[in-house]
Amino acid sequence: MEKMKRPTVGFVGTGVMGEPMAAHLLDAGYPLVVFNRTRSRADSLVSRGARWASSAGEVAAASDIVITIVGYPHDVEECYLGEGGIIERAREGALLVDMTTSTPSLAVRIASAAAKRGLRALDAPVSGGDVGAREARLTIMVGGDEDAFKEAEPLFSAMGKTWTLAGGPGAGQHTKMANQIAIAGSMLGAVEAFAYARAAGLDLKTTLDAISAGAAGSFSMSTYVPRIISGDLAPGFYVKHFIKDLSIAIDEATGLGIDLPGLALATQLYERLAEKDGAELGTQALWLLYP
């Protein structure tokens, strides 16, 4: 029996997260068209058979499904709503999946603009960092139409461990904000726990073994504290991008009329770290504020 032809997938944004995510789609047999502002970051995918495109719009014109994971909301807006962008050039009936952490309001605008052209759009931000992306263990939080979600599920299964439809357009981004608020607290707690352990003269590896399997355990504890102990502050997730996420969360919380002092504190600390030349480091570099 002849194999069913897989849809062509366009992938915009092949950085720390996007490159391994796109590679999993290649492994799953999807024809891939890629674009990244720094072309060299897509070289490994092109060498494996992906086709290079010169812009996000060109990716859309050549693809049945378009996935984006870029840096900031203004990058998302430019990719989708800019002149010659994804929505303008996408094929009729195409499925658009933004996996960037962005603003819920922008996700709603993109979904509305897409619908006017007969396109489907999902906001589907991810959690799991570079490790989750490399190991196809991402958590994917989705907003949009249920039929579009079902169409995207085979792709999500190639890149992630869990994927959940949280509601209509924007619900994926709201869910990601809840996720980032939780991570901010757990990262702050992990760093302060080990600052305390160091000050008390404890062996950090022994302390990690002792507390990580109990109630203190968390993704931050098991993934990032070993990097702290080994002196590895390279980005699995950039401080500058985390500040962006936390700033969105603060704005959304303000709009919802709620006060989140823990979130505010974490944001202030990460902003202080960025001012100390830490913006390009990984989020575990919060450790540098505890000499």
CATH code, domain carrying 15: 3.40.50.720
If asked whether residues 36 and 163 sit together in one domain, one would say yes
pLDDT band at 2 (very low <50, low <70, confident <90, very high): very low
Residue 4 within any structural domain of the chain? no
Q: Provide the 3-class DSSP secondary structure of residue 53.
A: coil
Distances (CA, A) of 204 to 2, 195, 198, 229, 290: 56, 9, 7, 7, 14
Q: What's the domain range around 102?
A: 9-168
pLDDT at 283: 96
- 168, 186, 217: which is the final residue of a domain? 168
pLDDT band at 5 (very low <50, low <70, confident <90, very high): confident
Each residue's pLDDT tens digit, 128-172: 988 999 999 999 999 999 999 999 999 999 999 999 999 999 999
Residue 189 within any structural domain of the chain? yes
- 135, 168, 201: which is the final residue of a domain? 168
| Residues near 40 by beta carbon (within 8 Å), at least 6 away in sequence | none
pLDDT at 186: 96
Q: Which residue has the tokens 């996720």?
A: 179
- Tell me the residue ranges of DSSP E strands in the chain: 9-12, 32-35, 51-52, 65-68, 95-98, 120-123, 126-127, 138-143, 160-167
Find the catalytic residue in 5, 116, 150, 176.
176
If asked whether residues 163 and 179 sit together in one domain, one would say no
Q: How many domains does the chain have?
A: 2
* CA–CA dist 233, 286 (Å, integer): 9
What is the domain-level CATH number for residue 285?
Answer: 1.10.1040.10
If asked whether residues 28 and 162 sit together in one domain, one would say yes
Judge whether residue 290 has pLDDT over 60: yes
Q: Provide the 3-class DSSP secondary structure of residue 281.
A: coil
Active-site annotation holds for 176: yes
Residue 189: which of 159, 224, 162 has the closest Cα?
A: 224
pLDDT at 3: 54
If asked whether residues 163 and 178 sit together in one domain, one would say no
Residue 151: which of 46, 54, 65 has the closest Cα?
A: 65
Q: What are phi and psi of 159, to 5 degrees?
A: -110, -20
Residue 1 within any structural domain of the chain? no
Q: Compute the mean pLDDT over every residue in the chain, rounded to the nearest whole number.
A: 96
